[in-house]
């Protein structure tokens, strides 16, 4: 079973019908949906993305990369290619689980929480934890500007029911996932985008933590080099396939190329047994789907 573990439901780019068609075209069985945080934006030039990846993946240059991606207005908007985009403080969980209910054989659902938002994270978890297709909780310390340790109560409840927490870590205190693990050492924690923004430094920090995993989603944050490096550092059995769609590279037709990351994984990991683990088998085990 091929499972995309990281996809934002964003009808302005690709509605559920279009997503199902892309899944069929790309050979993806299930997608784990989460709410959308930001309006659609233009794809950055490939050369700029390459430069950004080099800067972020190099410890000595990471400060320059940080200045490019950690760029927010006084109103809290994120700036992408110089343009401000509103960040939704409370991504729509109801919309996600409505889609899961409508297509239970194809969609799974993350509960998106924000301890600095309007909605109580524990209440949101409790509202959906018994819903068919529920896989865990997603949070974004980077864009929502909070410390991962603020998710402690949610993490404790997830640990009790054996479900994972997926976070997009940030810089400094917004990336201090270890403080959270000190409070909840048995939490299944997934760090998005190959361990952004620390990459190799993050891999070293989690090498001995068998309950910490990485997804290799995103075309801007996660390069082919980072994907291979993460596999060598912590092993294939702790990596999960995801896309971070519908944001990412576009094809020759100018539309979002949903199949790009899956094709990359199949090319750089030609061993079919490795593909089987990375493309869905391990995530199914960690999320309690098997």
DSSP character for 45? Answer: P
- Burial group, residue 220, by CB count within 10 angstroms (0-12, 13-18, 19+): buried
Contact between residue 206 and residue 234 where contact means Cβ atoms under 8 Å apart? yes
Angle at 239 between CA 66 and CA 204, to 5 degrees: 55
Mean pLDDT, residues 112-136: 98
**Does residue 290 register a pLDDT over 80?**
no
pLDDT for 126 equals 98
Nearest to 68 by CA among 224, 221, 245: 221
User: Rounded CA gap, 61 and 70, in Å?
Assistant: 14
pLDDT-based confidence at residue 210 (cuts at 50, 70, 90): very high
Considering the four listed CATH numbers 3.40.190.150, 3.90.1640.10, 3.20.20.140, 3.60.15.10, the one that applies to the domain covering 3-40+89-286 is: 3.20.20.140
Q: Is 30:5 a contact under the CB 8 Å cutoff?
A: no
State yes or no: pLDDT of 283 exceeds 80. Answer: yes
At residue 42, the pLDDT reads 86
Kindly tell me the sign of the dihedral angle through the C-alpha atoms of 287, 246, 2, 193: negative
Query: What 3-state class would DSSP assign to 182?
Result: helix
Q: Indicate if the pLDDT at residue 22 is higher than 80.
A: yes
Whether 157 has a pLDDT exceeding 80, the answer reads yes
Answer whether residue 194 shows pLDDT above 80: yes
For 27, the token pair is 């050979």
What ranges in the chain are assigned the alpha helix state H?
16-26, 46-57, 62-69, 93-102, 121-128, 141-144, 152-161, 177-183, 200-206, 224-234, 260-268, 272-276, 282-286
Query: What's the confidence (pLDDT) of residue 257?
Result: 96
CA angle 61–142–49, rounded 5-degree value: 45
pLDDT, mean of residues 97-110: 98
What mean pLDDT comes out for the span 274-278?
A: 97
What is the average pLDDT across 205-229?
A: 97
Strand pairing category for 83-85 and 78-80: antiparallel
Average pLDDT, the chain: 97
Task: Say if CB 215 and CB 242 are below 8 A apart.
Answer: yes
Contact 277, 1 (CB under 8 A): no
Give the integer Cα–Cα distance in Å for 232 and 161: 30
For the chain, helix, strand, coil in percent to 5 are 45, 15, 40
Res 43: pLDDT: 87
Cβ-contact 154, 184 below 8 angstroms:
no
173's CB contacts (< 8 A; 6+ apart) are 147
């Amino acid at each position: 079973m091929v499972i995309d573990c990281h996809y934002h439901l964003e009808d302005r780019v690709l509605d559920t019908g279009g997503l199902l068609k892309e899944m069929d075209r790309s050979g993806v069985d299930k997608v784990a949906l989460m709410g959308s945080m930001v309006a659609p934006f233009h794809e950055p030039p490939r050369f700029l993305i390459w430069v950004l990846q080099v800067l972020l993946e190099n410890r000595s240059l990471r400060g320059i990369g940080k200045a490019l991606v950690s760029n927010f207005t006084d109103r809290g908007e994120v700036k992408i290619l110089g343009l401000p985009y509103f960040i939704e403080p409370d991504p729509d969980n109801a919309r996600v689980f409505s889609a899961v209910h409508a297509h239970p054989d194809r969609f799974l659902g993350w509960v998106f929480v924000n301890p600095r938002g309007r909605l109580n994270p524990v209440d949101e978890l409790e509202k959906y934890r018994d819903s068919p297709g529920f896989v865990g909780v997603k949070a974004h310390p980077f864009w929502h500007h909070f410390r991962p340790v603020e998710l402690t109560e949610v993490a404790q409840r997830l640990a009790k029911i054996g479900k994972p927490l997926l976070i997009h870590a940030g810089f400094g205190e917004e990336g201090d996932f270890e403080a959270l693990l000190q409070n909840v050492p048995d939490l299944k924690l997934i760090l998005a985008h190959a361990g952004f923004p620390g990459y190799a430094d993050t891999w070293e920090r989690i090498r001995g933590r068998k309950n910490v995993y990485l997804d290799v989603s995103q075309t801007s944050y996660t390069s082919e080099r980072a994907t291979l490096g993460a596999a060598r550092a912590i092993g294939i059995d702790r990596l999960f396939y995801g896309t971070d769609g519908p944001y990412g590279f576009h094809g020759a037709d100018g539309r979002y190329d949903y199949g790009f990351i899956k094709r990359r994984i199949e090319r750089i990991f030609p061993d079919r047994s490795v593909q089987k683990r990375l493309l869905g088998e391990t995530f199914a085990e960690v999320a309690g789907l098997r």
